Amino acid sequence: MFKKVKDVISYIKENDVEFVDFKMTDLKGRWKHLSIPAKRFNESIMTDGIGFDGSNYGYANVENSDMVFIPDITTAVIDPFVKEKTLTMIGDVMVIKKPENVPFDQYPRNVAKAAIEYLQSTGIADEMIIGPEYEFHVFDSVRRKISADEVSYKLNSLESYWSNDLENNNGFHNQFSNGYHADTPNDVNYGLRNEICKNMEKFGIDVKYHHHEVGGSGQLEIETELGEMRKLADDTLAAKYVIRNTAAMNGKSATLMPKPIYGEAGNGMHIHMLLKKKGKNVFYEEGTYGDLSQTAMYFIGGILKHIKAICAFSNPSTNSYKRLLPGFEAPVVVGYAMANRSAVIRIPSYVKTEDKKRFELRNPDATCNPYFTCSAILMAGLDGVINKIDPEDHNWGPFDFNLFELSEEEKSKLDALPTTVEEALRELEKDHDFLLQGNVFSESLINTWIKAVRKDAEKVNKIPHPAEIDLYYDL
């Protein structure tokens, strides 16, 4: 939108903007923000920045936590969710040094930038192009309680057959796991999705399409067009912000957590990807398996080699592994295939054109930090290309059959994804040298991430589970 600070200042004056809002990303991938009166926005902010305490973002120790936020004016948009006219923008974080500040190597956008620079240094490609799919649930009410006398949560979706809302019940309901492409009046959130998509476009997000997903109780999907990796990571945080706020303004609650409903399909964030060099797709080669080049196959090999460690970033919640179960179109086997949704890597058969030939990684979910996840995927893929890791040499496919229908004996011969976040963290501890290449990730960041994610898991493991009452109460 803007290229020069003076253009921002002129826009503020000409459009009666009252506040300028700055959004920063914490370690886990949540937006935080602070705002200033619009009249205080000036040239010095681009050099002096906004000082803040990095220890509250999960990055730094209290004794060394002074950091500076530098806005990226090219990301500035009017926030449609704020009553007072507000120009909001994201940016980058610097560490205070003399004679000049330096980029903070643990800040997510800085890591993604370093990953792209490493990609370019290899000569393999100039840019990574990705396309995330956002799956989420919209509920009409959500209640939860964790206390000494009660551990519970209760959801309500008007379109679900188990809806307990008698006053607003219109008689049209979706059966369990039977909501894929449901039409109105069963698709009660159709209008809400339209509104979400319009708000996404205000944030510069190009929507490809949207629809009802498999889950019969308010599970929805919005897919965006392909774009440059760091831009799409920016867009992912913006998309989550838009989804939640649009739902809230309509009296509903939206969540992108992987498995909010027991027994139904969970929410993934599948990531489509390809590499380009001088504008040409280096993943395309006509006449091969899936029309994918040898470079693409090596890239797949690198991802599959390191996929268990990648899961510590792409699936970093205890809830993530309640989604990665057989029978719910979620992958569990390490492998690739054409048009096969039971494999962790799927090559879409409907993509025919050279410029968009790609594959998708199906295990990630939206509890991830998209900057770290996409950077880890890129680094793993590049390791595969550099070291010529062919997936066929490791029994990683192609698997042109339903992996969910294999016998236990057949499954035991295949490599599987982690089944808990603790297992994924142990894999990352063992396998992270590929992330350190080009100083993209640091040992400090990896250790900080492991410590933070493990702390969450330990907290969850200490809380009695309602299912334990059924299993053990009478023993």
pLDDT tens profile 333-389: 899 988 677 789 999 988 889 999 999 999 999 999 999 999 999 999 999 999 999
Q: Do 196 and 266 sit in the same domain of this protein?
A: yes
- What CATH number does residue 74 fall under? 3.10.20.70
378 found inside a domain: yes
pLDDT beyond 70 at 165: no
Task: Determine the Cα–Cα distance for residues 78 and 202; give it in Å rounded to an integer.
Answer: 8
Decide if 109 is inside a domain.
no
Q: Has residue 97 got a pLDDT over 80?
A: no
Q: Is residue 199 part of a domain?
A: yes
Looking at the structure, tell me whether residues 85 and 132 fall in a common domain.
no
**Number of neighbours of residue 107 by Cβ within 10 angstroms:** 26
Token pair 């679900």 in the structure block, residue: 160
CB atoms within 10 A of CB 43: 12
Residue 111 falls inside a structural domain: no
Residues 54-80 have a mean pLDDT of: 82
**At residue 319, does pLDDT exceed 60?**
yes
pLDDT at 401: 78
Which residues, including other chains, have CB under 8 Å from residue 325's CB and lie 6 or more apart?
332
CATH code at position 301? 3.30.590.10
In a domain, 333, yes or no: yes
Domain assignment present for residue 396? The answer is: yes
Q: Over the stretch 274-306, which tens digit does the pLDDT of each residue have?
A: 999 999 999 999 999 999 999 999 999 999 999
Nearest to 394 by CA among 307, 465, 287, 455: 307
Between 216 and 248, the more confident residue is: 248
d(CA 171, CA 37): 49
Catalytic residues: 53, 133, 135, 213, 221, 270, 341, 360, 362
175 and 81 within one domain: no
Residue 173: per-residue pLDDT: 82
The CA distance from 407 to 139, in Å, is 37
Q: What is the pLDDT of residue 60?
A: 64
**Whether residue 64 has pLDDT greater than 60:** no
Same domain, 140 and 43: no
Domain total in the chain: 2
Q: Are residues 76 and 176 in the same domain?
A: no
Q: Which residue range is the domain that position 16 belongs to?
A: 5-104
User: Are 224 and 82 in the same domain?
Assistant: no
Residue 219 identity (one-letter amino acid): Q
What span, in angstroms and rounded, lies between the C-alpha atoms of 445 and 199? 34
For 424-443, write each residue's pLDDT tens digit: 999 999 999 999 999 999 99
Are 168 and 250 part of one and the same domain?
yes
Q: Judge if pTM exceeds 0.85.
A: yes
Residue 278 contacts residue 126 (beta carbons within 8 Å) = yes
Per-residue pLDDT, 62? 47
d(CA 265, CA 243): 19
- Cα 205 from chain centre: 15
In a domain, 175, yes or no: yes
Between 233 and 67, residue with greater pLDDT: 233
- Structure confidence at residue 148 (pLDDT): 92
How many Å from the N-terminal Cα to the C-terminal Cα in the chain?
64
Q: Does some domain include residue 249?
A: yes
* 368 and 466 housed in the same domain: yes
